[in-house]
Every structure is written in structure tokens, then in C-alpha cells.
Amino acid sequence: QSALTQPASVSGSPGQSITISCTGTSSDVGGYNYVSWYQQHPGKAPKLIIYDVSDRPSGVSNRFSGSKSGNTASLTISGLQAEDEADYYCSSYISSGVFGGGTKLAVL
């Protein structure tokens, strides 16, 4: 299974919205609605922020939203805040799992 494709970096200003894409194939992202997104701050363990394409775990801000079209899933963060600066990873699971390469978000 090849890693899912994410942009290496994205940036935005406080208050703006950004979208991170995650491209796979019909054998992973496009095959089922088992796409998750994780946020990782430096030196910390990852944190689940979106699961099953668009669901948010309890306690995760509604500024985070997910969607999918075909073989590409997307994470949108609205109302950017300084604390959103982190690495973001998508993941897909169908009998085995795979992560995207990760996207570094800079809040300028």
C-alpha cells in the first residue's frame, strides 16, 4: 500500500480557512468511508480530529471539517488560530491501513 498523497505544506493567516487534500486510490480512500485525520504538535502524540470522512470526536472544535470526493479526501480548518499550527495526517483503512505523508500547517 503506497502512502496517501498530501501537500507538504500549507499556510494561512489567523481567521482564514485552509483545506488540506489527501489523494489515494479506489482501493483505499475511494473504496470506503474509513478516512481519518490526525493533528500532531511537535514532540506530542497525534490526536484524532476527524473520523469516517466527516465525523468529529467529542471535544474537537467544529472549526475542523472533513469531506471526500472520489479518491480525494479533504480537511478544512476554518477560523485559523495560532494553536492550529501543527502537522496533519490523513489515514485510510481497508483491512490494512495507510497514512498520508503529512502536511505542515503554518499560521502566519
Partner 1 sequence: EVQLVQSGAEVKKPGESLKISCKGSGYSFTNYWIGWVRQMPGKGLEWMGIIYPDDSDTRYSPSFQGQVTISADKSISTAYLQWSSLKASDTAMYYCACGSNSGRFDYWGQGTLVAVSS
54 near partner 1 (CB under 8 A)? no
**What is the Cα–Cα distance from 22 to 6, expressed in whole angstroms?**
5
38 near partner 1 (CB under 8 A)? yes
CB atoms within 10 A of CB 29: 28
Nearer to partner 1 (CB atom), residue 34 or residue 63:
34
Grid coordinates given for 35: 478516512
- The binder of partner 1 chosen from 48, 69, 79, 106 (CB under 8 A): 48
> Residue 24: what residue type?
G
# residues near partner 1 by CB under 8 A: 27
**What is the Cα–Cα distance from 84 to 74, expressed in whole angstroms?**
16
Q: Find the shortest distance in angstroms from Cβ 14 to partner 1.
A: 26
61 near partner 1 (CB under 8 A)? no
